[in-house]
Chain A
């Protein structure tokens, strides 16, 4: 048994909405899951874990917090800085921040991805500690659409024993450099990312057309969240909502 990418994308949108994200952000989460699964990466599991860990209360003002975490990492002028100043401050960063040096709680990779995607000029493209960092990759891939043929090298640092793991991200594809980076990207619950343009060419793997059976448990979790978007049926809604008391038979 397996799932089509289309139905998984639709399920991911509903699940993200059910967990408290706005419809527009949920659409981006659905896109992210599809993009990852098409690349053979466990996007379904990453989103299911994210939604499970991330209480809906945490979504309040989350866009601003994601932005702040991206731009104020240098720590100095965060509160009083204008947006432009924050971007400029950020450009002074030159290395991947180590996750242990921040006091901010781990951020949502979807919202962080949206900040990176919206603020196309953010430099040098680093993030603070993220939950489910795998989910950031589809948003990095969106940036490659700005310049045809461009690619990014994304490096994940975690506090676990894994060495920093790299992946090359293009418009439709991601290529993990080796098996240990695969383990790191696929399994890390938290980590921070640095991404930078690269000319490194990588073989593009054949896209996956299905979500395999091993994702069943995570799909069940997503279904649980998706269910929160459905209105409980009442006798009245059954009668009124669908339409008619005429007989179906003729």
Chain B
């Protein structure tokens, strides 16, 4: 692999993450990492945001209480869960509704849900609950205030919810294969934060230590929502048959995560937040480089790795989807993990730089899914080298970066050749290279992807094609005098301001830009979704098409009342003795 790109560029930028790299570390080049095919093969790791959140809550001895439970026998009403930290408290307010089956939809065009939620900053009064009861169930049509950090909603998995409720009402534990086949009782269909629909801006809470990193309030909400879904099903079972009902045993209870159904709304995020994307990926790549740089290992590390490998194999054996391409990848991943196990059995670990050796072997022999699974496993082994990197996985995006227009046209052309050669080498004359248009639909104000040559949508195109746009900029720069100032060029071409700012923002950030054409005919939006969701900590990536996916969050994680006693990192992979429950459909 060519190791010549900007990954080791030492030019600092103020917007860059605080990740500290020793000079000899070799990070994977951006040409290798920032391809959609690879980003679409990322797996959760100990740098994933739900892992970061649970570690922090545990380390800081947060406590939790179900501060309100006003839920009827048929599962409607209000419940609140409060998390108390060293300095502040936060309360999830859950509104449970009676939703007819025919109204249940995961699509953003839905107008009613099984449950709606908000994360309240502090302890809500009765008046707050009353106010929010008028707004939160309306979701996008309601208005929140500075006191609310997150807005969310969820729908039941009707089949599993009823089956679990029925089993518990009859005093039985539910069928484990059924739980594993779905993985959740409810799935969220949107989790909005950062100032959306009137909620508090990120700047209101970004400096709080408990929210350092990315998406921490949103994921705290989802974790508490998970508890609510389990409490709800147990409550309804109890109400249905008070004499016979039982509760879930903890080991089975933990098998439930929260589902999430995500469509194209999430896809543009990685394009709209290039600095943040860089900081996420750079942390992960730095972690990998640190582990590959380990010179020798002892028996303990070897055993730990082999243990984790076998537990990942159990995980993969539970992972079954209808999407044919993804199912093929999962099958290949299972075979590749077996190969890795065989390889280590036959040849053992190298004496010198064993993890680097193993990674290189994987890179030459295994699928992208397996290579990236290995990355997550290697990172897992060394908390002391890795965990501190999580604090750099954020950035301040409040201020627009001022374009530096003092340079010349020639200088900008040089910068483009240096940082965007991969983009300008595309042939954008080909119809297939510009086949798609990202646009926002008037109906629900959500991003969609259309066909440029089949639909009348080009006038509504969103600026989500950096490769094509930089290539256009480069063409127009070619028509201007080399010694002309950039200021003069931009005066003539205000349409290029977006691309010039982007270039100046990301040029020293190795992992800020997806090095693929995001409007090509063959582009798969699910690759972008998978990348982002892996950073969230999602498992069970289940593409329902090329454009939307279901995933599970917090599966196997401790519940709030267990956090003090259990290690959330240890539970991130299923226990080795859970293999007997393997099922495939």
Chain A residues with CB under 8 Å of chain B are 1-7, 21-25, 27-28, 30-31, 62-64, 66-67, 83, 111, 114-115, 117-120, 142, 145, 209-210, 227, 229-234, 236-238, 240-244, 246, 248-250
Contacts and interface: CB of A to CB of B under 8 A. Distances in A.
B208 interface: no
Contacts of A114: 490, 494, 497
Contacts of A83: 485, 488
B87 to A, nearest CB: 20
A119 B194 CA distance: 34
A219 B439 CA distance: 22
Given A230-B460, A237-B450, 10 more contacts: A6-B194, A22-B498, A63-B492, A117-B402, A119-B487, A229-B460, A242-B448, A246-B544, A248-B261, A250-B157
Contact of B442 (A22, A231, A240): A231
B497 A25 contact: yes
Interface of B: 101, 104-108, 143, 145-146, 155, 157-160, 182, 194-204, 261, 263-264, 322, 399-400, 402-403, 405-406, 439-443, 445-446, 448-451, 455, 457, 459-460, 463, 485-488, 490-501, 544-548
A23 B463 contact: yes
A1 B545 contact: no
A22 B462 CA distance: 11
A250 B495 contact: no
Given A120-B406, A230-B440, A62 B494 contact: yes
Nearest to A228: B460
B514 to A, nearest CB: 18
Given A24-B497, A231-B457, A240 B182 contact: no
A117 B545 CA distance: 46
A244 B547 contact: yes
Given A233-B441, A237-B455, A246 B195 contact: no
A230 B445 contact: yes
A145 B490 contact: no
Given A22-B495, A117-B403, A230-B442, A4 B201 contact: yes
A24 B498 contact: yes
A7 B402 CA distance: 21
Contact of A241 (B105, B182, B450, B497): B450
25 contacts: A3-B198, A4-B198, A5-B201, A5-B203, A6-B195, A6-B196, A7-B196, A21-B494, A24-B497, A24-B500, A27-B400, A64-B491, A83-B485, A114-B490, A115-B491, A117-B403, A209-B200, A231-B450, A237-B455, A241-B264, A242-B446, A243-B544, A246-B545, A248-B261, A250-B182
Given A24-B495, A230-B442, A240-B450, A6 B202 contact: yes
Nearest to A138: B400
Nearest to A24: B497
Contact of A24 (B157, B194, B501): B501
Tell which of A66, A83, A233, A249 has the most Cβ of chain B within 10 Å: A249
A218 to B, nearest CB: 16
What 7 pairs between A and B have smallest CB-CB spacing? A24-B497, A6-B195, A243-B547, A241-B448, A4-B195, A244-B545, A24-B498
A85 to B, nearest CB: 13
Nearest to A244: B545
A230 B485 CA distance: 35
A101 to B, nearest CB: 24
A30 B398 CA distance: 11
B159 A250 contact: yes
A187 B146 CA distance: 28
B43 to A, nearest CB: 23
B107 A67 contact: no
B498 A248 contact: no
A242 B460 contact: no
A64 B61 CA distance: 60
Given A63-B491, A243-B548, A142 B402 contact: yes
Tell which of B485, B487, B499, B546 has the most Cβ of chain A within 10 Å: B487
B201 A209 contact: yes
A102 B40 CA distance: 58
Given A5-B201, A24-B500, A237 B487 contact: no
Given A118-B405, A233-B441, A236-B455, A209 B157 contact: no
A231 B200 CA distance: 29
Contact of B106 (A117, A227, A248): A248
Contacts of B544: 243-244, 246
A100 B105 CA distance: 61
A241 B201 CA distance: 30
B79 to A, nearest CB: 24
A118 B261 CA distance: 44
A210 B144 CA distance: 12
A237 B441 contact: yes
A2 B400 contact: no
A223 to B, nearest CB: 10
A233 B101 CA distance: 26
Contacts of A63: 490-494
B141 to A, nearest CB: 13
